[in-house]
């Protein structure tokens, strides 16, 4: 049976102690997607959404969310993140926007949750800014794409 790192010997939840780990460069890349109707996609693309520039607002929200991950996920360590980047790839053929976030730190624990949180909140921000046009938008495929650093080494998601 695997050892659960977030439980102590009495089965109580705890934050993992990373005090003895060596700081290393750790990078995580996460992705996700939001799909919508063509009219909503065009409003985002042409920057005619009444609430303003949707993708720039979502970029800021994603960065801010990554910095607050430990306040949202109970056992996450508060991290001194050295870099967060949120990028968007609009796809007119599918009326969707692919979201990718990269987080980086030199530290004792990984930044996967920060990248995943950035993608999630960026997608939610797009939804929030456009919901008056399209309540059927779908947020999907939020996942870790790649991570490096630390004891477990490198992970790269297999192509699906």
Residues with active-site annotation: 128
What percentage of the chain's residues is helix, strand, coil (to nearest 5)? 30, 30, 40
Its sign, for the CA torsion 129, 130, 135, 141, is negative
CB under 8 Å to 79, separation ≥6 — which residues?
69, 70, 105, 107, 109, 111, 114
- Using CA atoms, how far residue 97 sits from 40, 152, 158, in Å, is 11, 31, 21
Coil, helix or strand at residue 14: coil
Binding residues for substrate: 75-77, 113-114
Cβ burial, residue 98 (10 Å; 0-12/13-18/19+): middle
Coil, helix or strand at residue 58: helix
């Amino acid at each position: 049976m695997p050892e659960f790192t977030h439980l102590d010997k009495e089965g109580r939840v705890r934050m993992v102690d990373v005090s003895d780990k060596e700081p290393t460069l750790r990078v995580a890349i996460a992705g996700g997607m939001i799909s919508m109707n063509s009219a909503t996609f065009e409003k985002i693309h042409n920057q005619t959404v009444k609430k303003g520039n949707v993708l720039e607002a979502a970029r800021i929200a994603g960065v801010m969310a990554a910095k607050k991950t430990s306040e949202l996920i109970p056992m996450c360590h508060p991290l001194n993140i050295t870099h967060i980047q949120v990028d968007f790839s609009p796809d007119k053929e599918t009326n969707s926007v692919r979201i990718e976030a990269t987080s980086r730190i030199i530290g004792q624990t990984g930044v996967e949750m920060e990248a995943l949180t950035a993608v999630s909140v960026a997608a939610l921000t797009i939804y929030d800014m456009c919901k008056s046009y399209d309540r059927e938008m779908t947020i999907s495929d939020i996942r870790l794409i790649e991570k490096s650093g630390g004891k477990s080494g490198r992970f790269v998601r297999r192509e699906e």
